[in-house]
Amino acid sequence: MRKAWGSPSGAAVRHRDTSRSLFCSAVPAKALKVTPALIALGSNLGDRRSQMIAGLKQLSTLIRTRVVDVSPLYETAPVGGPDNQGAYLNAAALVETHLDPKSLLEELQKIEKAQRRERIVRWGPRTLDLDILVYGDLVTDDEDLTLPHPRMHDRRFVMVPAADIAADYIHPGLNQTMGALLAALPVEPGDLTAVEADWGCSFIHPTTTEKAT
């Protein structure tokens, strides 16, 4: 069993059902005076799994940031965007960071660029997509960054991975837990399939070592 972020303070504790075998091995997570954030990962171009691994690996090496938990990997049907897109791989990562939200966004965009992400068509296919879903209890809406992510609570391909690792995290704008928001979404047959449970376990940092600047 491992501590789950039930709120930005990390006060709530959720006990995992290990019989599901959908999670990484237990890792002690000492609370830090830093900000928790949920990051969504997705890919539907090229070698999708390799793109996801590369993205998570780079995320795990970000300065003043550590990966606390990673959801299982899911294959999902595309939502919105051009017709005839290929299926996505999707996951979520819970991080602790000293970076402010815009700096974190800039670092995520650098990772996307390193994986040859091109922004041509809205919601179009992409080699790697990294989105900040929530950043602590911050609510903001400016030109560069809207938090929480404005469509996350409507998308099962986002909410299922997020609830896997942070079911009790309270959505700052809606004041409901990730688990409750997921439970309210209708299930479409075949929209989401778990394909790999422990794909990201090696990138979880079990200690609170802060990377040097």
- Residues with catalytic roles: 117, 126, 129, 131
- 3-state SS assignment for residue 154: helix
Structure token digits, residue 200 = 């990201």
The set of residues, in sequence order, having a beta carbon less than 8 Å from that of 161 and lying 6+ positions away, is 40, 71, 72, 74, 90, 91, 92
Asked whether 144 and 105 are in contact (CB, 8 A), the reply is: yes
Q: Which of 116, 59, 119 is nearest to 93 (CA)?
A: 59
Q: What are the start-end ranges of the H helices in the chain? A: 48-60, 101-114, 156-166, 178-183
Q: Tokens 């047959």 identify what position?
A: 189
Residue 152 contacts residue 40 (beta carbons within 8 Å): yes
Query: Taking the C-alpha atoms of 109, 148, 141 and 41 in order, what is their torsion angle to the nearest 10 degrees?
Result: 20
